[in-house]
């Protein structure tokens, strides 16, 4: 995959950075990123990943755009109400780089279709807002050793974690949150959410993804951010030896 003349112009400002020589940029462009959930976190994550040069994307969301989404789901406008989130997002992202290859899947992920949609991903971003999808995606990515960025926001608080999912070293979402069923947590539709909170979470998701591909280092860090205080904590996380997804050797 070569960088076209048009892309050289679009990305000229970060190709100047020593971290982004043409070879590394070319490697980044070959990564296949799957984003599940194109809401408050998925929208900015997708936008900034495309703006960083990510070129092959799969966008999965079964929802249609509603007016209540517009305070945080920045790829959509009032003119998009009632349209598919995945298809509308694709159109907007093509506005940044028309050469992106974007697949859209306007359905929700479930245990029957997850393999079909996630199997060939270089990395999966879970930006869904329900525990059932989160543990399903986590289990799948552990089984297939696919790196996973998991994120969530409620109110002013977000957490973002990249799980390497190496076959030789277990550490997953259920190691940290060992709930089997939907925990009784506050949700955005009941307690509210500020657009800048999901926005910053989406940006951190995008940055962790880029760091992962550029630096190829193990992360094992949960980033927690409160946008009201602007306090960011990076917590070192460890494998839970009682995790139900820990593969028996």
Chain residues in the site for Zn ion (CB under 5 A):
172, 174-175, 243, 245
Place of tokens 């029957």: 112
CB of 2 to Zn ion, least distance (A): 40
In the complex with Zn ion, the residue whose CB is nearer, 89 or 172, is 172
76 vs 40, 60, 108, 132, CA distance in Å? 11, 15, 19, 26
- The residues near 90 (Cβ < 8 Å, ≥ 6 apart) are 59, 102, 104
CB of 21 to Zn ion, least distance (A): 36
Residue 182 near residue 131, CB atoms below 8 Å: yes
In the complex with Zn ion, the residue whose CB is nearer, 124 or 197, is 124
In the complex with Zn ion, the residue whose CB is nearer, 84 or 161, is 161
CB of 163 to Zn ion, least distance (A): 9
In the complex with Zn ion, the residue whose CB is nearer, 156 or 245, is 245
CB of 165 to Zn ion, least distance (A): 10
CB of 237 to Zn ion, least distance (A): 10
- 130 sits in the region (left: phi over 0; alpha: psi -120 to 50; else beta) called beta
In the complex with Zn ion, the residue whose CB is nearer, 178 or 192, is 178
């Amino acid at each position: 995959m070569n960088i076209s003349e048009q892309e050289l112009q679009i990305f000229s400002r970060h190709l100047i950075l020593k971290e982004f020589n043409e070879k590394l940029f070319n490697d980044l462009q070959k990564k296949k990123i799957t984003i599940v959930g194109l809401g408050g976190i998925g929208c900015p994550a997708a936008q900034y990943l495309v703006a960083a040069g990510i070129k092959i994307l799969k966008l999965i969301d079964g929802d249609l755009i509603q007016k209540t989404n517009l305070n945080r789901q920045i790829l959509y406008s009032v003119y998009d109400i009632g349209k598919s989130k995945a298809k509308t997002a694709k159109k907007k992202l093509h506005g940044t780089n028309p050469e992106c290859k974007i697949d859209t899947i306007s359905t929700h992920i479930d245990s029957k279709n997850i393999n079909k949609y996630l199997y060939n991903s270089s990395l999966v971003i879970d930006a869904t807002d329900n525990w059932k999808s989160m543990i399903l995606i986590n289990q799948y990515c552990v089984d297939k050793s696919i790196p996973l960025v998991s994120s969530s926001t409620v109110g002013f608080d977000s957490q973002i974690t990249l799980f390497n999912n190496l076959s030789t070293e277990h550490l997953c979402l259920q190691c940290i949150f060992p709930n089997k069923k939907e925990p009784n947590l506050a949700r955005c539709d009941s307690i509210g959410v500020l657009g800048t909170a999901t926005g910053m979470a989406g940006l951190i998701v995008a940055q962790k993804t880029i760091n992962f591909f550029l630096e190829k280092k193990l992360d094992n860090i949960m980033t927690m951010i409160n946008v009201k205080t602007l306090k960011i904590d990076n917590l070192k996380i460890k494998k839970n030896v009682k995790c139900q997804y820990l593969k028996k050797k």
